[in-house]
Amino acid sequence: MITVRLSGGLGNQMFQYAAGKRLAGKHGTGLRLDVGGLANAETPRKYELGAFPVEAEVFRESATRSRALRLGRRLGLPLFTPPVVVTESTFKCDPRVLAAPAECELVGYFQSARYFEDDEAAVRRSFAFKPNGVASEDPFLDQLKGKTSVSIHVRRGDYLSAPGASQVHGVLPLSYYRAACEHLLQRHPEAHFFVFSDDPEWCKGNMLDIAPRVTCVEHDAATTAVRDMGLMARCRHHVIANSSFSWWSAWLNPSSEKVVIAPRSWFRDGSIDISDLFPSDWVQL
């Protein structure tokens, strides 16, 4: 059994699942997702993969298991042998994860398609959008049809409010988005840009003039992260933020003709090697 300790929001959970899915497939074993730590993070999270047809057992007893292990050790009663824990040691694709044994627990973010590139089809099946995520009759899809649509993702939220996220990532400048739009307009002068954000009001005040045709996508109380991801994935091209959420929105677009613009500044710390983060055909600005 492969166990993956989930952390972060939807995009991070997808990377963690994908790495575990590939490893479980390699060994012909099951996959279990430990969600016990999601609510205890600096930015509390919830389990979000239920919107996809993922194939895994959701495990919610990590705290209970830890207490049982401690009690067993004190009493000299080995209740069970804990699995080998494989912790990601670098942001680059870690070969120890690819070679992990059939009984192990994975801990990390695993933000690289290299972790699952030899099982890409299975990962895409796992992340097919359910009808209640992005229905074919979603009214916003009508705005995307017939246009050279480009999704723009603007991540603000916890990148401003949470000290940890702000120190690690930080918000991208408007100059990045302007340069990305200019790059796409050179190839597709008819492009229509659709802005998706966790701060749509800020975008309406700051993003409408970055290109000739810009629409800030409105949200309502029923809007979910999965719906936004699904709509972004249905655009023809993509301008992503330094966010795993928009990475997946672009990756899930299966078109071989898509243009994806990604930021060179994924982290504030420019010394972190992100060479395994982006597919080779994505453009970094």
Q: What mean pLDDT is predicted for residues 78-86?
A: 73
Establish how many alpha carbons lie within 13 A of residue 201's alpha carbon, considering only the half-sphere containing its beta carbon. Answer: 2
Q: Give pLDDT, residue 88.
A: 95
Sheet of 149-154, strand order: 214-216, 192-197, 149-154, 237-239, 260-262, 283-284
Least confident of 1-5, 21-25, 82-86, 219-223: 219-223
Q: What mean pLDDT is predicted for residues 23-40?
A: 92
Query: In terms of pLDDT, which residue wins out, 43 or 27?
Result: 27
Residue 131 has pLDDT above 70, yes or no: no
Q: What mean pLDDT is predicted for residues 52-57?
A: 93
In whole numbers, what is the pLDDT of the chain averaged over residues?
A: 89
Which residues have a Cβ under 8 Å from the Cβ of 47 and sit 6 or more positions away?
6, 13, 33, 35, 38, 58
Query: In terms of pLDDT, which residue wins out, 238 or 222?
Result: 238
Q: Is 93 helix (H, G, I), strand (E, B) or coil?
A: coil
Q: Which domains does the chain have, with CATH numbers?
A: 2-126 (3.40.50), 141-284 (3.40.50.11350)
Q: What mean pLDDT is predicted for residues 235-241?
A: 97
Confidence of residue 267 (pLDDT cuts 50, 70, 90): very high
Q: Give pLDDT, residue 76.
A: 64
Least confident of 78-87, 89-98, 266-275: 78-87
Q: Give pLDDT, residue 132.
A: 55
CB contact at 8 A, 239 and 249? no
Confidence of residue 81 (pLDDT cuts 50, 70, 90): low
What's 173's DSSP letter?
P
Confidence of residue 140 (pLDDT cuts 50, 70, 90): confident
Tell me how far apart the alpha carbons of residues 168 and 193 are, in angstroms, rounded to a whole number: 28
